[in-house]
Amino acid sequence: MFLALNGDVLQARLLVERRVKKEQTITVALQPTPSAHLHRRWSGDTSTRASPSRGMSFLAESSRRVHALDYVGEFEVGTPPVRFRAILDTGSGAVLLPADRCHESLACRKHKRYNLNASSTSSPIAWLDNATEAPRDMFDRETLHLAFGAGEVWGQLVRDDVCLAEGMCRRMNFVEVVEASDQPFEAAQWDGVLGLAPDISPAKEYNLLESFGSGSASVFALFLGRGLRDGAEVTWGGYRRERVASPFVWVNLTVPGYWQIKLSDLTIGGKALDLGCSCEGCCQAVVDSGSSVIMGPAFLIKMLKEKMNLSEICTNKTFPSLGFKVAGHDGRDEMLELTADEYMDREWSEGVEYCLPHLMPVGETGRGPIVVLGMPVLRKFYTVFDGKAKRVGFALANQPNISGPEPNDMKKNGTFVVAPLAEEASRKVFPSMAVAKHMSDVTVPLIPCRGTCYPQNETGQDGKAI
């Protein structure tokens, strides 16, 4: 059983540093069971930083280096409101913004930074244990160390107004980053992170879904266009029926913390691999909007590539479909199936076609072997994340066909080329690029970025579009 859980918990490791003569270790539950260790020192002492654990979020280094695709949203923080760009990451659990005090890190200096003192509604938070206690002075604050697969940040706690859309605002706790590693933050097209995992935040006051309450952000849906010109959007509070091209398949979450579901099997060309997924805790997968690829244990990825006969040079070659069987609410197996053009990139160079599958191995996750269902799955399927019912819904996405018949953006002779517009498509901005409200739902655009962002809007000093 290649995906049997080992009983550990997948987590982005959380360390809090406090300067004391003797280090003390306190156990704090980040999830129901088991717990994570929280190491405390004063914020100024960085002499004995622990090595970061591998996370399973948007910071997977190889994923970002090869495919480098982001969908970026905009939100506002503080009073007066300042607009920031952020990656929407269902694989992490906190809101992160670079602090105005983050001078030493190039990753901070290259992005818009949050100024605590410029907001009339802000309040610094002293300790993680108390979500409202103000520090005696600016040195009397804990520093959190968040480590991911290919980067790490150090940040302090703050409380301020956060607006996901017009009229959709809450005062909540988040992390202002005071130091960040250059990789991958320096080259990022976004300033911060909106962590949307259901239950892995440092404390409940830092959980965005819980802070916004039921009926607003506890249910949200992601639409990612087939091509970069096809737009992308997030709907807070529900989903848009016009984005749906098939009945939903609803799959219950299996383990608290992440958007984690059980797979019944994998298929190649429609044929089941019979991986033995009937055992308890076997064949687990996490739906992760922060991953630009599909990831899994090294031996599984190797097996898939061999059985699919994938090769780097692929001129005039065809490849089979790749499917993920999931059990719906009625107990019947349903298929989430991707064609070759949906799970790989193609690149032309000097008359030769190269194929780069969106399949990459992932190291230790803390939850045993896990399959990460990233953007290739989320582009094919309109996905609803339902924190209230603890389930994920998949339906074929109703794509707008703004891109031409060629399904993929690709590289040609070393230059990234966006798929051409379909003849019938208007050259106006796709309708989803404006905030839309329907009943209690609010839909806001996401900005696809790959090397550059589309559309290429200019911004002023306040961060708002000109």
Tell me how far apart the alpha carbons of residues 311 and 308 are, in angstroms, rounded to a whole number.
9
pTM, rounded to two decimals: 0.81
Strand pairing class (284-287; 123-124): unpaired
Tell me how far apart the alpha carbons of residues 122 and 114 are, in angstroms, rounded to a whole number.
11
Tokens 């398949």 belong to which residue?
249
Least confident piece of the model among 187-196, 233-242, 324-333, 402-411: 402-411
CATH class in words for 244-400: mainly beta
Q: Are 330 and 249 in contact (CB under 8 A)?
A: no
- Point out the residues that are catalytic: 89, 288
Give the Cα-Cα-Cα angle 221, 95, 293 (nearest 5 degrees): 55
pLDDT value of position 414 = 53
Give the Cα-Cα-Cα angle 442, 445, 450 (nearest 5 degrees): 155
Closest CA to 457 of 159, 83, 31: 83
Which residues fall within 8 angstroms of residue 294, CB to CB, at 6 or more apart? 343, 358, 359, 360, 371, 372, 373, 374, 376, 377
Which residues in the chain are classed under CATH 2.40.70.10? 23-241, 244-400
Least confident piece of the model among 34-38, 176-180, 230-234: 34-38
For the chain, the average pLDDT equals 77
Query: Is 60 exceeded by the pLDDT of residue 391?
Result: yes
- 250-266 pLDDT per residue, tens: 999 998 899 999 999 99
Q: Tell me the CATH architecture of domain 23-241.
A: Beta Barrel (2.40)
